Amino acid sequence: AILIKTVTKLVRHHLMPSLLVEQNSSPKAYKRLALKLSPEVSMRQLALVMLCDHRGRNGKGHEPLDTDVQQYDLFLEKSEQAKVVHEAEKPVLLGRHVMDIVKPGPEMGRLLKRAYEIQIDEAVTDVDELKRRILKKNS
């Protein structure tokens, strides 16, 4: 089952590295892709599949193409800048940070999900700021 999930994610998203590089995408886009791939696939693994795909398109013979690896390098560089080469960004606001305000359950889950979205979309990593933002919106 894990192998199937891994291969499915690699196949489904193998064009994304080129697309993100071509569109000069923000770190947020890299973080979101890493989250979609997680936990089975890393951005580095996806980059290698993209590179193999590019090099394997030799219509004139059986030798791998000696293609330009600039997109591969740029994708890994941007993934590194977003700090998601090996795994998705971990949420900084956890249930223990809001247990004094909301009981464990669906409401807490909704608030933590919102905090994680703010963390990824706006690069907010301060626990107190995230807590303030999700509770303000909830009021």
Q: State the pTM of this model.
A: 0.85
Q: What is the Cα–Cα distance from 70 to 8, expressed in whole angstroms?
A: 25
Residue-level pLDDT at 137: 61
Asked whether 31 and 120 are in contact (CB, 8 A), the reply is yes
CA-wise closest residue to 14 among 43, 57, 55: 43
List per-residue pLDDT tens for the chain, 139 residues long.
899 999 999 999 999 999 999 999 999 999 999 999 999 999 999 999 999 888 877 777 777 777 768 889 999 999 999 999 999 999 999 999 999 989 999 999 999 999 999 999 999 999 999 999 998 865 5
Counting every residue written for the chain, the total comes to 139
pLDDT given for residue 122 in this prediction: 94
